[in-house]
């Protein structure tokens, strides 16, 4: 998929792009007629831990760190030097890779409007949450200033409309997968001594990992569960594993660098995302799913939020919180290598059709072209 428009100057501000693997999207964008500058904070820290900015995929565009204030506060963080960056770069488009109710987005879009630079924002917010002042004001002001919004899923697009956004909405996941990096294992490894189950992401209550532990505790035979990530729920999960008598089968691997994740997935027989919806959150995408699917590893996910739409018919889905059905899916995969192979192959094909970095980059550049055209 290509794009042959004249070169546009685009400034993207994204705390998500501190992650090296995610930077492949920026490389793909830069190949499509975009003179791209990406600004990220030196690090971002939240309930999942601290993520340092690691430039890994930076060919063809400028990647720089800039100061951030109130790091870790989703609503109040902002970039104090951004107005000066806009003056120095004079981009044709500003892409604020951030939610519209945040101070960072409000300050950025206000600065862009003062300089007559068209701007867009990104939203994952798939629950119709009403925010108190001043965040409600930030949100509505950003709705007026952005003629096009990028929503990560259909539910997020619906929330924008419900809250009064009147502009164009492009539904594009924030990131895809590079299928040349997230690849299947070169050869079959034979029958491992244990069935290898994995999870990657935040160790947080809403991720439903206690349900995964309870499901694993009912499995017969040899199995091992590896949890890659950090978060506030880790002590409680370790205590539950011990209580269930499975502490010796559960491995807490810590946060892994994005560059080693393909090898992590290839070491597994199944990846599980057991998220549970809360009053303030439901699963917005589930990147671990598309990464595992690209590596031809079968996936199991709950029906929280966007998970069923990501998996489609290329994996197994269970009602969130339903430990018995989750355990049944794991037993099916454990007992049937042909099922694992079939779902793994279907997952890889689904990623190639829908979730590659190249596809998402091309759709994003189309948004930029429309914004730049409106400015002209």
CB atoms under 10 Å from CB of 133, counted, come to 7
What is the mean predicted confidence (pLDDT) over 218-239?
96
Query: What was the pLDDT predicted at 1?
Result: 40
pLDDT digits (tens, 9 = 90+) for 236-254: 999 999 999 999 999 999 9
Is the CATH number 3.40.50.2000 carried by domain 8-176+356-375? yes
pLDDT of the residue at 2: 46
pLDDT at 376: 52
Q: What ranges do the domains of the chain cover? A: 8-176+356-375, 195-354
pLDDT band at 193 (very low <50, low <70, confident <90, very high): confident
| E strand segments, 68-153 | 93-96, 119-123, 148-151
> CB 244: neighbour CB atoms within 10 A?
16
- Kindly report which listed range (39-48, 270-279, 298-307, 315-324) carries the lowest average pLDDT score: 39-48
Report the pLDDT value the prediction gives residue 188, as an integer from 0 to 100.
Answer: 59
Instruction: Report pLDDT digits (tens) over 250-300.
Output: 999 998 888 899 999 999 999 999 999 999 899 999 999 999 999 999 999
Distance CA 41, CA 79 (A): 8
Fold of 195-354: Rossmann fold (3.40.50)
Task: Please indicate whether the domains covering 8-176+356-375 and 195-354 agree at the CATH topology level.
Answer: yes
Residues 151, 374 contacting (CB under 8 angstroms): no
Mean pLDDT, range 82-94, rounded to an integer: 98
């Amino acid at each position: 998929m290509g794009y042959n428009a004249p070169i546009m100057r685009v400034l993207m501000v994204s705390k998500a792009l501190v992650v090296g693997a995610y930077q492949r999207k920026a490389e793909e964008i830069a190949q499509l007629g975009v003179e791209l500058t990406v600004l990220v904070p030196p690090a971002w820290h939240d309930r999942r831990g601290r993520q340092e900015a690691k430039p890994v995929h930076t060919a063809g565009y400028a990647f720089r760190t800039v100061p951030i204030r109130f790091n870790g506060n989703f609503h109040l963080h902002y970039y104090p030097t951004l107005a000066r960056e806009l003056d120095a770069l004079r981009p044709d488009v500003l892409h604020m890779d951030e939610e519209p109710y945040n101070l960072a987005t409000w300050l950025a879009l206000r600065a862009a409007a003062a300089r007559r630079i068209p701007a867009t924002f990104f939203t994952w917010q798939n629950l119709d949450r009403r925010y108190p002042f001043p965040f409600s004001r930030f949100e509505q002001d950003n709705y007026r200033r952005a003629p096009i919004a990028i929503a990560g899923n259909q539910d997020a697009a619906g929330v924008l409309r419900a809250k009064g956004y009147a502009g164009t909405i492009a539904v594009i996941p924030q990131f895809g997968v590079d299928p040349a990096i997230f690849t299947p294992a070169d050869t079959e490894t034979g029958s491992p001594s244990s069935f290898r189950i994995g999870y990657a992401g935040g160790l947080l209550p809403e991720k439903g990992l206690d349900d995964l532990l309870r499901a694993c505790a009912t499995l017969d035979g040899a199995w091992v569960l590896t949890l890659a990530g950090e978060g506030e729920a880790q002590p409680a999960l370790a205590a539950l594993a011990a209580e269930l008598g499975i502490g010796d089968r559960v491995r807490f691997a810590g946060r892994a660098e994005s560059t080693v994740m393909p090898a992590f997935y290839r070491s597994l027989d199944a990846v599980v995302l057991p998220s549970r919806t809360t009053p303030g959150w439901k699963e917005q995408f589930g990147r671990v799913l598309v990464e595992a699917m690209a590596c031809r590893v079968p996936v199991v996910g709950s029906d929280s939020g966007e998970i069923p739409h990501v998996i489609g018919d290329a994996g197994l889905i269970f009602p969130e919180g339903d430990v018995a059905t989750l355990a049944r899916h794991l037993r099916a995969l454990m007992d049937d290598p042909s099922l694992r192979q079939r779902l793994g192959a279907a997952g890889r094909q689904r990623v190639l059709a829908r979730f590659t970095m190249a596809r998402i980059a091309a759709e994003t550049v189309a948004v930029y072209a429309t914004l730049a055209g409106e400015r002209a």
